[in-house]
Amino acid sequence: MATLSTAEKSFLKQLVNTVRRPLSLAWLLTVISTLIFVWQAWLLASLFSLWLTNYFNKIPLSTGIDSAWFIGLALCFVLRPLLNMGRELLSSRASLKVRSELRQSLLSTMATLGPNLRHFGSDGSISSQIIDQTDALDGFISRFSVQKNVTVTTPLILLIAVAWQSKFAAALLLMTAPLVPIFMILIGHLTAKKSAAQFSALSQLSGRFLDWIRGMPTLKRLQATSIAEQDLAISSEEYRRRTMDVLKIAFLNGAVLELLAALSIALVAVYLGFGLMGILPWDKGHVPVAYFGALFILLLAPEFYVPLRQLGADYHAKAEAEGAVQSLLPIIKAAQLSKGDSVGAFKVGSEKDTSPEDLSQAPIDLSQAFGLTITNVSIQTPIISEDSILSGDSIISDNSTEQHLSSAAEGTNIKGSDAHATDSLVKAVTYRTRLAPVSFELQPAERIALTGDSGSGKSSLLQAIMGFVDYQGTIQITLANSERIDIKQLPQQQLRQHMGYLAQQVALMPLTIAENLRLANPNATDQQLIDAL
């Protein structure tokens, strides 16, 4: 899988930034839990080293034991689970908030795209993107976003505590620690590629299943249901195989990380054991670390690698999130292009996507019937020759190409080393007319019929009125008081609440006509339904 683009990285970062405060608090709870664990290790090491000393000196084991140690241990055993539970609660709620708001934003985006949404796949595929691929962000937000900070702070705190007793043992931990992220990255790249393919297969399977379900009455009449069964069986088997490939890599990664951590801990334990026996090759007859220090380090060493191993496991969640973002972002980009926004302008959740003009506008009453005035409305689609990407001896990169095309469409002048390439690019930009200039006026409650040859722009005009496509010219609504307002000055959400659009490719629910109509207004009377028809 290719590296994430700047827009995709920015989008992921924006998702995390919306819940930065609870995630930071979750990280702080982990830091406090680590400090408590160091205190717990100190208490246990003090207790057991004193017992060993008393045992070898043949004195009562309880000699010198402070009862406050047991109280401290009890507090540690109670506080650490509570802090960890608090972290999980904060991070899971943050993830739920982001995913819920993202789904709502995607639904709003779908409404913005309107008929253009069909370019992104079938209804089943899009449903899979909104449900399954949004859920794929859970691990990235709730675990990876916090764990990458924990992986820095927790080992650092433990390393300082180990160095307090033995600088050599701390050096051993420091030397073996980088092996974990190195193997994590090597295996994680392959996981990211497999995850992206997995999301693609899931979307295709969802779309295919929905298509077969919709066509089931026809298949039954043709006695061809066995074809659907065979096709779904083959698709399901392919999806199962892809799933096992991802799980196989995940288990392999976990096994490698566990092996590295076990070998590293064993290396520290061998050093401490030889030191206690005084048989270190370079320091025979000397005990570099006493009982207390050795026990203290051995208690801390396994915890030193836990954040690194956990990050390795959570790295798969990051790979899944990257695959999901690469699938979701094209829909968001398309909606932004239809509104003239940039990727960074995408708002997640409850943040309202309202332009400054909308904020300055007083609410307009559209409850009464209103008319439409269409003046010289035309729609043109830019066509760019692929050969124009090459200009002379220079090759324009993807990002540069997008900037040049944007500037060419706006008619701006570009200076500098890319000027020659841009001139060639501007000459190659042509436009296809989807709708020739048209003008007419529609009075309130008046009915008209749009007629014309196929491809003349009838549907395009309706899409322009609904705000689904960009256009040239003016479209105004005429209020009951004869006031005319440009349709671009109205919030799209408010406008669409009072306008209906029925495309050529209509999808009727398996309900009665009345029940289908009442999807828009559940409380509509029979007479209102007749009037609507």
Reduce the secondary structure of 404-463 to three states and give it as a string: HHHHHHHCCCCCCCCHHHHHHHHHHEEEEEEEEEEEEEECCCCCCCCCCCCCCCHHHHHH
Cβ atoms of 377 and 471 closer than 8 Å: yes
Confidence of residue 394 (pLDDT cuts 50, 70, 90): very low
Are 351 and 378 within 8 A, CB to CB? Answer: no
Find the mean pLDDT for residues 262-284.
Answer: 80
Q: How far apart are CA 288 and CA 94, in angstroms?
A: 47
pLDDT tens profile 170-216: 888 888 887 777 776 666 666 666 666 666 666 666 667 767 777 77
For residue 187, give every residue at least 6 positions away whose Cβ sits within 8 Å of its Cβ, in sequence order, or none.
249, 252, 253, 256
- Per-residue pLDDT band for 395 (boundaries 50, 70, 90) equals very low
Contact between 347 and 332 (Cβ < 8 Å):
no
With a cut of 50, say whether residue 350 has pLDDT above it.
no
- At residue 160, the pLDDT reads 93
Q: 304 and 283, same structural domain?
A: yes
Judgement on whether residues 331 and 371 belong to the same structural domain of the protein: no
Mean pLDDT of 436-453: 84
In CATH, what number is assigned to the domain containing residue 266? Answer: 1.20.1560.10
Question: Is residue 331 located within the same domain as residue 376?
Answer: no
Instruction: Give 383's pLDDT tier (boundaries 50, 70, 90).
Output: low
Q: Across the chain, what does the average pLDDT equal?
A: 74
What pLDDT shows up at residue 83? Answer: 94
CA dihedral 290, 295, 296, 298 (to 10 degrees): 120
In-domain check, residue 217: yes
Is pLDDT at 32 greater than 90 in this prediction?
yes
Is the pLDDT at 289 greater than 70? The verdict is yes
Q: How many domains is the chain built from?
A: 3
Specify the pLDDT at position 11. 80
Share of the chain above pLDDT 70, in %: 69
Instruction: Name which residue leads in pLDDT, 302 or 207.
Output: 302
Burial of 313 (C-beta count, 10 Å sphere; 0-12/13-18/19+): middle
Q: Quote the pLDDT of residue 448.
A: 82
* More confident of the two residues 519 and 336: 519
Q: Based on the domain organization, do 268 and 316 belong to the same domain?
A: yes
Are 403 and 377 within one domain? yes
Domain boundary among 343, 375, 400: 343
Number of alpha carbons in the 13 Å side-chain half-sphere of residue 511? 10
User: What residues make up the domain containing 425?
Assistant: 363-501
Does residue 402 carry a pLDDT above 60? no
Examine the pLDDT at 396 and tell me if it is beyond 90. no
Region 435-457 average pLDDT: 83
Amino acid sitting at position 265: I
More confident residue, 524 or 81: 81
Which pLDDT value is given to residue 193?
A: 65
Same domain as 312, residue 178: yes
Confidence (pLDDT) at 159: 92
Whether 4 is covered by a domain: the verdict is: no
Residue 533 sits in the same domain as residue 417 = no
Other C-beta atoms lying within 10 Å of the C-beta of residue 528: 13
The pLDDT-based confidence of 451 (bands split at 50, 70, 90) is: confident
Pull the structure tokens for residue 305. 């690698």
Q: Give the whole-angstrom CA distance, residue 307 versus residue 143.
A: 11
Instruction: List CB contacts of 523: < 8 A, sequence separation 6 or more.
Output: none
Residue 279 reports pLDDT greater than 80: no
Check residue 505 and give its pLDDT: 61
Please report which confidence band the pLDDT of residue 237 belongs to, taking 50, 70 and 90 as the band edges.
confident
Q: Are residues 212 and 296 in the same domain?
A: yes
Say whether pLDDT at 340 is over 50.
no
Residues 210 and 333 in one domain: yes
Where is pLDDT greater, at 345 or 279?
279
Q: Say if residue 496 is in the same domain as residue 521.
A: no
Distance, in Å, from the CA atom of 117 to the CA atom of 126, rounded to the nearest integer, reads 9
pLDDT at res. 354: 43
The 10s digit of each residue's pLDDT in 96-129 is: 998 888 888 777 777 666 666 666 666 656 766 7
| Range name among 264-273, 290-299, 304-313, 336-345 with the lowest pLDDT average | 336-345
Residues 492 and 109 sit within 8 Å (Cβ to Cβ): no
| Nearest-angstrom CA–CA distance, 422 and 416 | 10
207-236 as b/e, with b when 16 or more CB fall inside 10 Å?
bbbbbbeeeeeebeeeeeeeebeeeeeebe
- Give dist(CA 359, CA 365) in Å, integer: 16
pLDDT given at position 229: 82
- 102 and 324 in contact (C-beta within 8 Å)? no
408 shares a domain with 512: no
Lowest mean pLDDT among 70-84, 187-201, 432-446: 187-201
- Statement: residue 420 has pLDDT above 70: no
What tokens were used for 182? 């190195």
- Whole-prediction pTM value? 0.60
Q: How confident is the model at residue 421 (pLDDT cuts 50, 70, 90)?
A: very low
Looking at the fold, whether 274 and 399 belong to one and the same domain comes out as no
Residue 350 lies inside a defined structural domain of this protein? no
